[in-house]
Amino acid sequence: MNKLVAEATSDDILKGLAAVRALRRLVEDIETLQVRRARDLGWAWGDIAEPLGISRQSAHKKHARRRAK
The answer to whether residues 31 and 52 touch, using CB atoms and an 8 Å cutoff, is: yes
- pLDDT tens string 41-50: 999 999 999 9
Give the separation between CA 45 and CA 15, rounded to whole angstroms: 37
User: How far from each other are the two terminal CA atoms of the chain, in whole angstroms?
Assistant: 27
Give the domain ranges of the chain: 2-68
| Vertex 35 angle, CA 55 and 21, to 5° | 85
Q: Residue 69 pLDDT more than 90?
A: no
Model pLDDT, residue 65: 74
- pLDDT tens string 10-29: 999 999 999 999 999 999 99
Give the separation between CA 39 and CA 45, rounded to whole angstroms: 8
